[in-house]
Amino acid sequence: MANVKDIKVVQPHNRLIGPMPKVGIRPVIDGRRRGVRESLENQTMNMAKAAARLISENLRHPNGLPVECVIADRCIGGIAEAAMADEKFAREGVGVSLSVTPCWCYGTETMDMDPYRPKAIWGFNGTERPGAVYLAAVLAAHSQKGLPAFGIYGRDVQDANDTSIPEDVKEKILRFVKAGLAVAYMRNKSYLSIGSVSMGIAGSMVDPGFFQDYLGMRNEYVDMSEIIRRIDEEIYDKEEYARALQWVKENCKEGADNNPPEIQKSREEKDKQWEFVVKMTMIARDLMIGNPKLAEMGYEEEAMGHNAIASGFQGQRQWTDHFPNGDFMEAMLCSSFDWNGIREPFIVATENDCLNGVAMLFGHLLSDRAQLFSDVRTYWSPEAVKRVTGKAPTGLAENGFIHLINSGATTLDGTGQQTDKDGNPVMKPYWEITPEDAAKCLDATSWRPASLGYFRGGGFSSNFLTKGGMPVTMSRINLVKGLGPVLQIAEGYTVELPEDVHHILDMRTDPTWPTTWFVPRLTGKGAFKDVYSVMANWGANHGAISYGHIGADLITLASMLRIPVCMHNVPEEKIYRPSSWSAFGTTDLEGADYRACMNFGPLYGKK
């Protein structure tokens, strides 16, 4: 039984350099004095306050910090007041703007002109003043100027004195703000490559142009030998190391060794490898975010880190042919807890597959939760399951399922051992995770000595089975020559198989790795006409899996970055993109998305 009863939840804090982006609220008003403006001041400012209250009460940053809203000091009736608001927003670190109005205003004189700041306009649906008219006029101006903005307009007419926010408006405001904050938070952070290309996997061929032009991010590179240097020269916090090693001995149970007896590592060798992988984990974290303790030890440069919001570790094969693999390091960093407490998970991509790492980053920023990194390994048809096991799949799995499995960065949160108030398996934001949740995840995981056929240097791979019944979303970024990045999305569910069926199927691959059985939600057409088609249309060997059905949020985020979505099963009524997209077609939404993204170009790139 894991010994974590005294584990603490780490207080929310920003572990990266740069302020947390804030949401700017712009109350926009009819600028005509001598009666018109004066009659609207209170209503307009109250809309801004209501929007700010909605956002602050419902959203947090992924690190647990509250989302702060900044309201312009005065209503914006013209260019001078727009400039005043912009000056305040720059001073306050606003990364997303929401304009609100109940009335007609002067479009181009009041609009937000910042080219990099995601922006939306909520036009009050009332009859006394034409808020919808301003909304349409200013959205047209945004399109004409090449500054796409999101329109928010309630379905039902409200009375002028109605200060409530309709549910459909709430949904759009929160979806827009969460995606916009993700855009702002990524900007000027880095992706850290520890190593280079793994086994010829194209996703680990890091394209700095993609990161710079689409995400506004830097790329940092460190050779894997830096980990050995820091181990050999003891450039890590020794007090933390002693505490970490003791915690691992108490909470990370070693599983059975499946290697042939004649090549198995000795007990002494395995103990040394446990010491090694714990040091690897600490060092990779220090490389990402730095560690002030190192400066106290005289290593000021190493103490700085790389301000990495995400990273990847090459591992295979140059490292793993000689040293213990990175599986423990990746899985523990990607989990929401370790010897330092329950804390925000890191994003670390196996095999330095940066494109899957970006999809993991998207999922984390939108869901606030840890992410699974998996091979999209095998499609099991009902017929194949029946032939191999003698039993046909039933329930959610009756039309077949996909085996998600990988040796590396599958978070221990992915065991599904965390539960909600009704006992259902969930994955929680870290600040909601209890010591009991963490203990159950650890108890459900065994650390199997690495398969020496794959990993000659040894190490330990996490082994668990994900509980069924969790709503999840699998996503992936792919780069296509001549087209650029595209995003794939598949919402679905984890499923449980009968124990004997799971055992037979799992033993046909590598039983030392974590398994998730996944069933995508089918639509009966296109890539989602059946489970086989989902597997056949998936664009790479890896997928990033997030708890919850966050496909609509991913679509909104992708539109902000100008990344077209080439495959998804999100209901059409949930799709929310800038209003400009309708100018590129309203029947074929997928084609319109491609045309709009191509027309406007990457958010930070030059057309």
For 437-487, write each residue's pLDDT tens digit. Answer: 999 999 999 999 999 988 999 999 999 999 999 999 999 999 999 999 999
Q: Which two tokens stand for residue 415?
A: 């065991």
Residue 83 CA to chain centroid, in angstroms? 34
Q: What pLDDT score does 506 carry?
A: 94
CATH classification (class only), 22-186: alpha beta
**Helices vs strands, H then E, count in the chain:** 19, 22
Q: What pLDDT score does 607 carry?
A: 60
Residue 550 has pLDDT above 80, yes or no: yes
Residue 130 has pLDDT above 90, yes or no: no
What DSSP state is assigned to residue 160?
T
Q: What pLDDT score does 460 carry?
A: 96
Residue 370 has pLDDT above 80, yes or no: yes
Strand 22-27 and strand 401-405: the pairing is unpaired
Q: Where in the chain is the domain with CATH 3.40.50.1070?
A: 22-186
Query: Would you list the DSSP string of 85-141?
Result: HHHHHHHHTEEEEEEEESS---HHHHS---SSS-EEEEE---SSS-HHHHHHHHHHH
Which fold is adopted by the domain 190-600?
L-fucose Isomerase; Chain A, domain 3 (3.20.14)
| Residues assigned a catalytic role | 351, 375
pLDDT band at 375 (very low <50, low <70, confident <90, very high): very high
**Amino acid (1-letter code) at residue 293:** K
Q: What pLDDT score does 3 carry?
A: 82
CA distances from 461 to 409, 450, 594 (A): 10, 6, 40
Q: What pLDDT score does 2 carry?
A: 78
Q: What pLDDT score does 131 carry?
A: 77
Q: What pLDDT score does 243 carry?
A: 97
Residue 190 has pLDDT above 70, yes or no: yes
Residue 9 has pLDDT above 70, yes or no: yes
Q: Where in the chain is the domain with CATH 3.20.14.10?
A: 190-600
| Beta pairing partners, 70 | 24
The better pLDDT of the pair 6, 139 is held by 139
Average pLDDT over residues 88-112: 96
Query: Would you list the DSSP string of 192-250?
Result: EEESS--TT-GGGS--HHHIIIII--EEEEE-THHHHHHHHTT-S-HHHHHHHHHHHHH
- Other beta carbons within 10 angstroms of residue 68's beta carbon come to 17
Q: What pLDDT score does 129 carry?
A: 78
Segment 145-184, tens digit of pLDDT: 999 999 999 999 888 888 899 999 999 999 999 999 999 9
Residue 378 has pLDDT above 70, yes or no: yes
CA distance 573 to 588: 14
Q: What pLDDT score does 312 carry?
A: 97
Q: Structure pTM?
A: 0.97
Extract the runs of DSSP E, i.e. beta strands, from 464-595. Answer: 471-480, 484-494, 515-520, 542-547, 565-567
Segment 523-538, tens digit of pLDDT: 999 999 999 999 999 9
Cβ atoms of 249 and 220 closer than 8 Å? no
Three-state DSSP at 580 gives helix
Contacts with 58 (C-beta within 8 Å, 6 or more apart), sequence order: 174
Residue 88 CA to chain centroid, in angstroms? 30
CA distance 491 to 475: 9
Segment 488-504, tens digit of pLDDT: 999 999 999 999 999 99
Query: Would you list the DSSP string of 297-343?
Result: TT-HHHHH---EEEEEE--TTTTTTTS--SHHHHHHHHSSEETTEE-
Residues above pLDDT 70, as percent of the chain: 100
Segment 192-231, tens digit of pLDDT: 999 999 999 999 999 999 999 999 999 999 999 999 999 9
Residue 510 has pLDDT above 90, yes or no: no
CA distance 531 to 508: 20
CA distance 216 to 431: 28
Residues above pLDDT 90, as percent of the chain: 94
Residue 6 has pLDDT above 90, yes or no: no
Q: What pLDDT score does 37 carry?
A: 94
Q: What pLDDT score does 124 carry?
A: 87
Residue 70 has pLDDT above 80, yes or no: yes
Residue 306 has pLDDT above 70, yes or no: yes
pLDDT band at 289 (very low <50, low <70, confident <90, very high): very high
Q: Which two tokens stand for residue 570?
A: 């999100």
Average pLDDT over residues 312-336: 96
